[in-house]
Amino acid sequence: MAPGAARRVLEGQRAAPGMVLGRARLQLAHQHAIDGTPLPADAIDGELARLDTALAATRAELAELRQRLHGALAHEAEPFLDTHALILDDPELRRGLIEMIRQGRYRAGAALVAQRDRLIEVFRRMDDPYLRAREDDLSHVIARVLDALERGGHQGERRIAARLGEILVTENPSPAELATLARHGLRGVIATAGSSYSHAAILARSLHLPMLCNVADAAAALADGDLVLLDGEDGLAIAHPAAQDLAALRQWQRAQAARPRPTPRPAVPARTRDGETVALYANAELPGEIAEARVLGAVGIGLYRTELLYLRQPALPGEDEQYAALRELMLALDGAPATLRTLDLGADKAIDTGLDMPAEDNPALGVRGVRHGLRHPAILRTQLRAMLRAAQLGPLRILLPMVTLAEEIAAVRAHAQACLAELHAEGVPAPQTLPPLGAMVEVPAAALGVRALLEHCDFLAIGTNDLTQYVLAADRNQGALAGLYDPRHPALLRLVARVAGAARRAGKPLSVCGEIAGDAGALPLLLALGIRELSMLPARIPAARAVVENADCTSLRAVVPRLLRATSRAEIEALLCKLQQP
Ligand code: PEP
Ligand code: MG
């Protein structure tokens, strides 16, 4: 323990399990250390040179980014890069900065921040929607220059700084940051905000990266380099751990090491006590997870989020690269089925990907999922072509995220048909007919209008993570709403029942692939409502199987009328308690 450093226990919400010891690395987004003290007269020339170096480095960074983009992404991202380059080269901006440094004796960082704030004020007063949209571009560019200034003009990746053996302390990391940092040996994450339903938390669980979220005092209590014990099992972060904490860590590690390796389970559906079958699938993308899913007896991959291919690098993956990843998946599955979801970037997921999406006031209600695909057909078609090629290697289905209208499914089907015709014409191996095309039900309108959707698709998957946030108007990333955001809400369960009934009547497959599908405590609710396909984190499959094997569908069905009449969470919980008694 550092001399004088006192042990301190911080509480948070568990986002990904595991226990690790590491050094804290504070990285609070968009925070630049701005020196507001006046510049001495003899430092002016040096400061102007620093500014010029940072501007030149930012220009080079944008040019490099442009070079790395090719194909569809270049087409999509160029307008933003052009706007950013224009802002950077604006003679007015440069003149203003030079004047502030020369006359006002501002340091370069302080001048950049002051110029940014002044211009934003001007944009706002003009009340022009175009200029308002430029506010974010301006902030984005200035943040890049500030980063370059901090790096002394050296090129490098932005804001990615945690190193081997460190525990990142941040506000709300983006999934792209986590994907990159995990590759650099990050040990864990303490987020001061966020929730366990965020995409970053879901990814941390996939990466086996212990994570806490909503640790309100972490930023104040921890300093760079502090030794921290992150306990993702109990939701604690212990700064300057004492001997008893380290003993607890060792005990946990020993228990992990002594855990028997899971005996491989055959990939057969689980069976309830009264003989109904329930297919347990895995939500998985990484090779290790896919292998884990196979060992634990998953009957296939029920949700393959293609976003991960986009989070691994700053440039958009082309068709061949996507095909190579899907080929690896299909070969690993060895004939078991996979459901591939088209790109669902947007909201919190697009940050730091190669896809430079315009800032939106309400990204969760914005251009994401299939909305993005239909507005950027080149990106959608690249994915569809890769998926159609992969369909030669095993049974797969194509799933569309964020569907609101049946017309969206019809439009994607037309694109898919065109891609298939192209592949045939080019002599590229592809199936004769389209694989099944399905829709996520995660927008309330999709659940309420499910009959129309069913006419246009071959299967459905309920995404309770998003459906919950849209039905309850509670941001899934907002830790402060953790008490409200809850998929066990009666309104959610009524929608699930509605979708299940409609899918059954239409004779089309339906699964649930939100986090609730792997929540053993809530599974009896889904079984009662008629769900027979579940897709979850691989590690949750054994517990889910045990719940299914212990369930009796006849008695579960008997409580459905009461379940659907419930008016509160408390009533649902009481019913669940009853259901769980053997
Ligand atoms: C969901 O919304 O429930 C879902 C499975 O998709 P994601 O978590 O990727 O938004
Ligand atoms: Mg979703």
State the CATH number of the domain containing residue 423: 3.20.20.60
**Average pLDDT for residues 32-58, to the nearest whole number?**
88
Q: Does residue 305 line the site of ligand 1, with CB under 6 A?
A: yes
Whole-number Å distance between alpha carbons of 169 and 214: 11
Burial category of 3 from C-beta neighbours within 10 Å (exposed 0-12, middle 13-18, buried 19 and up): exposed
Residue 73: per-residue pLDDT:
43
Instruction: State the distance from the centre of ligand 2 to the C-alpha of 572, rounded, in angstroms.
Output: 24
* Residue 547 belongs to a domain: yes
Show which of 203, 229, 258 is a domain's final residue: 258
Instruction: State the distance from the centre of ligand 2 to the C-alpha of 497, rounded, in angstroms.
Output: 19
Same domain for 205 and 118: no
Which ligand 1 atom is nearest residue 467's CA?
A: 2
Q: What is the pLDDT of residues 516-551, one digit of tens each?
A: 999 999 999 999 999 999 999 999 999 999 999 999
- Residue closest by Cα to atom 4 of ligand 1: 463
Same domain for 575 and 547: yes
Residue 362: per-residue pLDDT:
85
Instruction: State the distance from the centre of ligand 1 to the C-alpha of 225, rounded, in angstroms.
Output: 35
Residue 264: per-residue pLDDT:
85
Q: Does residue 464 line the site of ligand 1, with CB under 6 A?
A: yes
Q: What is the pLDDT of residues 368-400, one digit of tens each?
A: 999 999 999 999 999 999 999 999 999 999 999
Whole-number Å distance between alpha carbons of 344 and 376: 13
* Residue 59 belongs to a domain: yes
Whole-number Å distance between alpha carbons of 404 and 407: 9
Same domain for 410 and 298: yes
Show which of 118, 150, 182 is a domain's final residue: 150
Same domain for 234 and 94: no
Whole-number Å distance between alpha carbons of 28 and 9: 20
Show which of 231, 258, 285 is a domain's final residue: 258
Same domain for 123 and 92: yes
**Average pLDDT for residues 543-570, to the nearest whole number?**
94
The runs of H, that is alpha helices, within 187-318 are 199-207, 218-221, 243-258, 287-295, 307-311
Q: Scanning the structure block, which residue is given the tokens 């609710």?
A: 525
Instruction: Classify the phi-psi angles of 84: left when phi > 0, otherwise alpha if psi is within -120 to 50, otherwise beta.
Output: alpha
Domain hosting 204: range is 8-29+161-258
Instruction: State the distance from the centre of ligand 1 to the C-alpha of 565, rounded, in angstroms.
Output: 27
When divided into structural domains, the chain yields a total of 3
Enumerate the β-bridge partners of residue 23. 166, 227
Same domain for 83 and 14: no
Q: Does residue 524 line the site of ligand 1, with CB under 6 A?
A: no
DSSP, res 38: P
Question: Which one of 60-74, 163-177, 280-294 scores highest in mean pLDDT?
Answer: 280-294
Q: What is the pLDDT of residues 444-485, one digit of tens each?
A: 999 999 999 999 999 999 999 999 999 999 999 888 888 899
- Residue closest by Cα to atom 1 of ligand 1: 463
Whole-number Å distance between alpha carbons of 163 and 69: 27
- Known catalytic residues? 199, 513
Instruction: Classify the phi-psi angles of 424: left when phi > 0, otherwise alpha if psi is within -120 to 50, otherwise beta.
Output: alpha
Same domain for 454 and 535: yes
Q: Are 413 and 456 in contact (CB under 8 A)?
A: yes
Output the 3-class SS for 422-483: HHHHHCCCCCCCCCCEEEEECCHHHHHCHHHHHHHCCEEEECHHHHHHHHCCCCCCCHHHCC
Same domain for 429 and 397: yes
* Residue 276 belongs to a domain: yes
* Residue 264 belongs to a domain: no
Same domain for 290 and 243: no
Which ligand 1 atom is nearest residue 465's CA?
A: 3
Which ligand 1 atom is nearest residue 202's CA?
A: 8
Q: Does residue 344 line the site of ligand 1, with CB under 6 A?
A: yes
DSSP, res 314: S
Whole-number Å distance between alpha carbons of 67 and 260: 49
* Residue 277 belongs to a domain: yes
Same domain for 180 and 47: no
* Residue 34 belongs to a domain: no
Q: Does residue 465 line the site of ligand 1, with CB under 6 A?
A: yes
Same domain for 380 and 434: yes
Whole-number Å distance between alpha carbons of 60 and 33: 23
Same domain for 286 and 139: no
Residue 329: per-residue pLDDT:
96
> Which ligand is in closest contact with the Cα of 464?
1
Lowest mean pLDDT among 28-42, 234-248, 300-314, 544-558: 28-42
Whole-number Å distance between alpha carbons of 143 and 58: 10
* Residue 20 belongs to a domain: yes
Q: Does residue 442 line the site of ligand 1, with CB under 6 A?
A: yes
